[in-house]
Structure 1
């Protein structure tokens, strides 16, 4: 892209920002105006799904089953798995997210792309059929894997917007250099993928779109790095053994749901926020739901800076230092989780205020509601006027953590551990859309947004901060 084109695009963005400054007030694109309403919606969906399951269990068993016979109590899984033809109706998954990332479209209404080549030999000129070739394309794509694959990345796998990685029905592992990078993009769904053994890579050229490649400095070695992006949903993945974080979201990222994942064997699990003074991160909104934080985890489940983080119905198993940490005054709303403390008497506390004295953190809004504390675990809440602030959020009572085994039973990649998850084959022909499957009129603003994000990716963090406060 030419410098002149970027100047025009950023000029338009600057005009929009300047004329809307009174309304924006550091509000991020994709930020929900009422996070408490999102919290209530999550509770409502969980309660409805659990109620349907209990009602089903009370009814006499009927031959032939039916849709209700598949109800798990997990609202995400109930949404798509109850379709007996889901393997040929994969894009229904895009309607099943909950929480702040519920608007992530992924590759919905796009064509099915079949990964036929597991190699990753050239980060600048990837071959058609490879995963790297798919994720850099401009158009929406629903990316599937017809067979088990180990994809060993040579460099960061840099995504473009409107992509879904759908690993259902296959055993797909992504390992190697840099792993997954979502930078200044939107609308990505990553589902049913193993991500592990990721290490730093870079100091080389990497392609990020069909028309652009550029120099990438050394990466951190995250499993999934979310950088200045929005409308992201990561579901039913298994993550472990990476050099830095398993999932990091920084630099004004928002509209994120991290659900049904299995985390294990790692030190610094999840970082949310660039630093304590990066004000755009005050608009970060993340839902962390139905995950299992498993064996050999040390800390950061997550570690938060600024923003609103809803931690709901997760299972935390014996961290080594702490479970939830933070600095910079984030709002942490912990509801219906089970916290199982380690045997170490010095690590019983769920929470950790990082490098902050009590005089500062006593006003932070950290709340525990309906959580179960096991083996001496304890959560130190904080914040003045919490009852009034959270009264609205609690109008739909969060489900007790007593249901946590049921809700998190299938956390991680489906089909692992001998569980019957009804994973089936799918018909290639039934998944393809014909020509005219997308509206060119509706696509026009998306093209502009994609161009704008490409321009933004060329700017430094300091320049982006100045743009955010214009």
Structure 2
């Protein structure tokens, strides 16, 4: 699939620009920015900006998941597997904790599906959502995916227990989930997957976090925004051979380092990736952003607090606004925004069910 950029109006001439600008300024004021450049926590939700499909998953026909299909609520593994693998579209509400058996079991997700946690209670424990080649139009939101890690096996080279794994798929939105204690990767976007958005997730307590690539082709388009990477070691994310990787308003802090500092890093533009990083916040991070000599990395507007190691910037990469519009939050407000709005939210289940 190929996307041809459309001609864009100047930001100030676009419909609704004034309202969006006023809302952003209002949010920043509500967050009460401190003198050290890190915002205080927002007391209440001020907007549902974070409920909108955006980024690369919104292009080339968009991503609607199971919209228009039956809405079902599942509380056990058998029902989840039945509806997730079905040929017809479904909106699948996961209520409570589903513990996959056997340990590390795959939940196969077919095309035209929305999987959404009911309230903030939906959990998949010791299992993986798996999207096989050809799968498309999938939304996974508001879930906690946790605890497939094996005690004492930090590196997980002999297992393939991911939280979500996708191979050669297109149009996938992974949004407002929490990933914790997964063995191997928390989220793997693999083998020429296209039109993917990863937004408002919490990645925590893990070694291998968010990886992209496993291919020599340079096809993938991915947007990664408003995610919180906390107590994670590597792949935050690692992006190999992506045509376009747009990272903005992410919060990286408090890396894990169990005696292997060489592979403790933040964002990595690898292979022939073209990466743009905007208005992110890095706190206590080693190698916050780095690039291979063959890759390109443009960084602008981010805040670095107590960071060490590589801070690479070279090449022209691309202009994300040639592809889509987006709201860029001030970097100083990112910690408060991401801590408040990332991960499962009580209101998302009903918003995703119609």
TM-score by length of 2: 0.77
Counterpart of 1:463 in structure 2 is none
Measure the CA separation in 1 of the matches of 2:332 and 2:254: 18
Counterpart of 1:302 in structure 2 is 237
Counterpart of 1:379 in structure 2 is 311
1:75 aligns with 2:49: yes
Q: Tell which structure's C-alpha radius of gyration is larger.
A: 1
CA deviations on 1:151-182 (whole Å, 9 max, x unpaired) are 324321111100001214141111224x1101
Query: Which runs of structure 2 are paired with 1:197-216 in the superposition (5 Å)?
Result: 197-198=147-148
How many Å apart are 1:72 and its aligned residue? 3.0
Counterpart of 2:126 in structure 1 is 176
TM-score by length of 1: 0.59
Measure the CA separation in 2 of the matches of 1:174 and 1:292: 20
Instruction: Give the conservation status (yes or no) of the 8 Å contact 2:226–2:342.
Output: no
* Cα pair distance change 1:105/1:424, threshold 3 Å: closer
SS of the residue aligned with 1:256?
strand
Q: Which has the higher helix share?
A: 1
Counterpart of 1:99 in structure 2 is 55
* Cα pair distance change 1:172/1:390, threshold 3 Å: closer
How many Å apart are 1:55 and its aligned residue? 4.9
Instruction: Give the conservation status (yes or no) of the 8 Å contact 2:212–2:239.
Output: yes
Counterpart of 1:149 in structure 2 is 97
1:288 aligns with 2:245: no
How many Å apart are 1:193 and its aligned residue? 0.4
Measure the CA separation in 1 of the matches of 2:119 and 2:72: 15
Measure the CA separation in 1 of the matches of 2:254 and 2:313: 20
Counterpart of 1:370 in structure 2 is 301
Measure the CA separation in 1 of the matches of 2:67 and 2:204: 31
Consecutive unaligned residues in structure 2, runs of 5 or more: 31-43, 151-157, 258-263
Instruction: Give the conservation status (yes or no) of the 8 Å contact 1:192–1:412.
Output: no
RMSD: 3.5
Counterpart of 1:247 in structure 2 is 187
Measure the CA separation in 1 of the matches of 2:187 and 2:209: 7
* Cα pair distance change 1:395/1:196, threshold 3 Å: closer
Instruction: Give the conservation status (yes or no) of the 8 Å contact 2:136–2:169.
Output: yes
* Cα pair distance change 1:58/1:397, threshold 3 Å: closer
Instruction: Give the conservation status (yes or no) of the 8 Å contact 1:50–1:73.
Output: no
Measure the CA separation in 1 of the matches of 2:271 and 2:349: 47
Aligned residues: 312
SS of the residue aligned with 1:409?
helix
Counterpart of 2:260 in structure 1 is none
Measure the CA separation in 1 of the matches of 2:276 and 2:185: 22
* Cα pair distance change 1:169/1:326, threshold 3 Å: same
Measure the CA separation in 2 of the matches of 1:33 and 1:326: 23
Measure the CA separation in 2 of the matches of 1:294 and 1:391: 26
SS of the residue aligned with 1:76?
helix
How many Å apart are 1:241 and its aligned residue? 1.1
Counterpart of 1:457 in structure 2 is none
Query: Which runs of structure 2 are paired with 1:67-466 in the superposition (5 Å)?
Result: 72=46, 75-77=49-51, 96-102=52-58, 103-115=62-74, 117-118=75-76, 120=77, 126=78, 130-145=79-94, 147-154=95-102, 155-177=105-127, 179-183=128-132, 184-198=134-148, 220-275=160-215, 278-279=216-217, 282-295=218-231, 297-307=232-242, 308-319=244-255, 320=257, 321-342=264-285, 347=286, 349-353=287-291, 360-361=293-294, 364-377=295-308, 379-383=311-315, 386=316, 390=319, 398-415=328-345, 423=347
Measure the CA separation in 1 of the matches of 2:314 and 2:348: 47
How many Å apart are 1:100 and its aligned residue? 0.7
* Cα pair distance change 1:48/1:288, threshold 3 Å: farther
Instruction: Give the conservation status (yes or no) of the 8 Å contact 1:107–1:142.
Output: yes
Measure the CA separation in 1 of the matches of 2:266 and 2:194: 22
Measure the CA separation in 1 of the matches of 2:46 and 2:250: 16
Instruction: Give the conservation status (yes or no) of the 8 Å contact 2:204–2:230.
Output: yes
Measure the CA separation in 2 of the matches of 1:424 and 1:185: 24
Instruction: Give the conservation status (yes or no) of the 8 Å contact 1:46–1:399.
Output: no
CA deviations on 1:346-385 (whole Å, 9 max, x unpaired) are x3x21244xx5xxx44xx32011111111135621011xx
Measure the CA separation in 1 of the matches of 2:81 and 2:49: 32
Instruction: Give the conservation status (yes or no) of the 8 Å contact 1:49–1:71.
Output: no
